[in-house]
Amino acid sequence: MTSGPEKSLQEKFAYRFGDPPACHDPTAENDTLAYLAGRRSHRRYLDRPVDPALIETLSAAAFSAPTKSDLQQRDIVILQDPSLRENINSLFPEDSWMGKAPAFLIFCGNNRRQRQLHQWRGRPFANDHLDAFFNAAVDAAIVLATFVVAAERVGLGCCPISAVRNHAGTISDLLGLPDHVFPVAGMTLGWPEGPGEVSLRLPLDVTLHKDRFNEDGLRQRVEAYDDRRDGLQPLSRQRYAGEEGYGTVTPYTWSEDKARQYSKPERADFGAFIRSKGFNLD
């Protein structure tokens, strides 16, 4: 870890976004904002266990997050059985670092409890459409994000794993998830081996809108972000470089990488899986 004076909030935002936002003076030294401005994901961990009681405490903190209409449609599955963990790790042979994490959790959307309430109270479930799935998925995502903050504030490192949805059916079976309960994302958790790296983000003038959605000059701004990111955090691996129609390009930019990533089918069966869980997606 580099030594030197701690960067100011504006300096942290300027590094991540290129140009910092306007900073209201009373928030300039805010510890929480400074943490968020400089936060980073971790994929390498010390060989040191995470106390199960700490994981439960962090889960309680995460479940304190906002939830749609107080419906509380989100659950966390903590993987403790070594054989279960090994079975799930085997689904990701190219990501061996995941198996080395001291702890692994899976965040689930749960619309099942709501339906059970209707059965118990003799009320019709009148909203059996896409919104039922969407609300549970968003609830789970909010809890995941809150867990990240809680974990990092006690010194742990973590990394959300969307790839669990590549094997949603298998993971659902391994975890015994019933109808209307589905995996949203996994998360590795442990004590960081190093400081990690702050991921650069699109500039605020691309993603922050005022009054109306605005795409004026979008391509030029994304290309400027490509140039900045390539200069500070060049990508080391080019997707599908050995395949026809891809090859290697210089510079290999963020936008090229994302275009390549979604140029091939991924999770095309996820909608069918969600329907198999009893959801009506109309």
Q: What was the pLDDT predicted at 87?
A: 97
How many Cα atoms sit within 13 Å of 124 on the Cβ side? 3
Question: Per residue in 38-74, pLDDT tens?
Answer: 999 999 999 999 999 999 999 999 999 999 999 999 9
Residue 154 near residue 164 (C-beta atoms within 8 A): no
Domain assignments of the chain as residue spans, ordered by start: 52-196
Residue 45 near residue 156 (C-beta atoms within 8 A): no
| Multiple choice CATH, 52-196, 3.30.530.20, 3.40.50.620, 3.40.50.2000, 3.40.109.10 | 3.40.109.10
Which segments in the chain show pLDDT lower than 50?
Answer: 1-3
Query: What is the distance in angstroms between the CA of the first residue and the CA of the last residue of the chain?
Result: 51
Quote the CA–CA distance of 145 and 77 in Å, as a whole number: 15
Q: What was the pLDDT predicted at 7?
A: 80
Quote the CA–CA distance of 180 and 115 in Å, as a whole number: 9
Cβ atoms within 10 Å of 222's Cβ, excluding its own: 17
Q: What was the pLDDT predicted at 4?
A: 53
Helix axes 130-153, 31-38, angle to 10 degrees: 110
For residues 81-103, one letter each, b for 16 or more C-beta atoms within 10 angstroms of the residue's C-beta and e for the rest, the string is eeeebeebbeebeeeeebeebbb
Quote the CA–CA distance of 12 and 192 in Å, as a whole number: 21
Sign of CA dihedral 41, 46, 49, 54: negative
Quote the CA–CA distance of 98 and 96 in Å, as a whole number: 5
